[in-house]
Amino acid sequence: MTVIIDGESLTIDELVRVARHGEQVELSEAALDGILASRDVIESALRGHKTVYGVNTGFGDLADVTIEADDVAKLQVNLIRSHSVGVGDPFSEEVVRGMMLLRANALAKGFSGVRLDLIETLLEMLNNGVTPVVPQKGSVGSSGDLAPLAHMALVLIGEGNATFDGKTYSGAEAMQKAGITPICLQAKEGVALINGTQPMCALGALVVYDALELVRNSSIAAAMSLEALRGTRRAFDEKVHLVRRHEGQLEVARTMLGILRDSEINKSHADCGKVQDAYSLRCIPQVLGASLDTIRYVQSVLNIEINSATDNPLVFADGADVISGGNFHGQPIALVMDFLGIALAEIANISERRINRLVNPHLSALPPFLTTEGGLESGMMIAQYTAAALVSENKVLAHPASVDSIPTSADQEDHVSMGTIAARKAREILENVQNVIAIEFMCAAQGIDLLSPLKPSNPLSSALASIRKVVTMLTDDRPLHKDISEIRLLMQNGVIVKEVEKITGALYTD
């Protein structure tokens, strides 16, 4: 399949297909007229000796400096070189591919004044596997993600560094090996490449995509824990949730009932007299549902942003107008990335409490620390420590980046978003939560096995079987880090969810 970009209709699913799975990209013919018309406005302004910010002026606090006609092209190259000041570990290839796709899509809207050749070269790089090396740190998220996008643009002009065919080369070498001719930037093109929110958006979109998959896994893990702890299903009765009507809460409650269904374990404690469970079991729909609603809200903001024109100035061919504005400002993304990090952290918080109940014999009515040789063996005691460490780390990471601002460019840029920092933190929180849910799966699977010969619901039996293909029941102490890693890999590959959905149907719709 091929993803067609037109600046208007790109989806997060398509971004993932290109960024993560290497799908090819083409420019829609419908976008050509707008691209060409906006370029004509820039060419006309130059012929008419008009002063246009970023075309024949300096940048930021140097906007009042006029650039001579002979230096207009050099100005754009200098801009890319001078703004390539990122530090730290590079972004993953999928994030960089995502930002390349998003930048091409934004330019395709026809409000940037760039030549068609520039967009086509960016797509050639994507389609032939030339991925710029882009350091993660250095963006304050206003005037766009200047430093990351500058590192991306360096390779476009045959400089910087890039990966190709699994190896890192100079930008010139990578382009040569891929058979791509670097671009010689012309008026407006440098600033059009680096004024935008594409790094924070690419990272954010990938996190949102993975977060929705995490909700599915979290629901199954929570159901396994409830089964192992012999909890009641009564709290998931639709009547309870219809009188509150939060969409996510209703969906999670329905999903839990679909996963749990009838089981031998459930029937075994039907007359136990227990009327309610602890909050970490009873309030699964309320807590996980609130996180689901938040993730979907973040998704809706990103769906707008990934199809937006975010550079400066913007070129309006209708009226031949060039306007300096502030669409590059990352505030919409900064706020929702912080919100996303908080929502993800809560998924881990409640999961860790269920893990604690599973390993604590005073709460679980299961063998201490899920081992039959307590004392001689520690079983899964320390797995809960790891989960506790991860959720505590998340509490630090969940502090919002977007409440901070620090002036740049001699106070010309006196409020910034910190959106890329917020997105990076959301990704780190997501990875911690994935590990916590993997630990919950590991402990809940052990708990269910310890209830044998009683069997869980059919969907959970399928989930358990998929886990047991890679992680055996714990009978003697062993290093559990590999078990956690194997289960996390199952989660990331969608294996557990697919096995459950064969029986239940789709757990959630995106």
Q: Report the catalytic residues.
A: 53
Of 49, 83, 81, 80, the closest CA to residue 66 belongs to: 49
Q: What residues pair up with 131 in beta bridges, in sequence order? A: 163
CA atoms lying within 13 Å on the CB side of residue 439:
33
Give the whole-angstrom CA distance, residue 60 versus residue 412: 6
Q: How many Å separate Cα 3 from the centre of its chain? A: 20
Q: Which residues of 152-170 are buried (b: 16+ CB within 10 A; e: fewer)?
A: bbbbbbbbbbbbbeeeebe
* Residue 129, amino acid: G
Q: Is the distance from CB of 352 to CB of 415 less than 8 angstroms? A: no
Q: Which two tokens stand for residue 113?
A: 């004044």
Give the whole-angstrom CA distance, residue 301 versus residue 83: 28
Of 271, 30, 309, 266, the closest CA to residue 144 belongs to: 309
Give the whole-angstrom CA distance, residue 48 versus residue 169: 42
Give the whole-angstrom CA distance, residue 156 versus residue 179: 13
Cβ neighbours around 493 below 10 Å, total: 11
Give the whole-angstrom CA distance, residue 437 versus residue 367: 21
- Given the DSSP bridges, would you call strands 131-132 and 135-137 parallel, antiparallel or unpaired? unpaired
Element (H, E) at 354: helix 331-359
Q: What residues pair up with 132 in beta bridges, in sequence order? A: 162
Q: Which two tokens stand for residue 227?
A: 């089964």
Cβ partners under 8 Å of residue 247, min gap 6: 289, 293
Q: DSSP labels for 268-293?
A: HTTTS------HHHHTHHHHHHHHHH
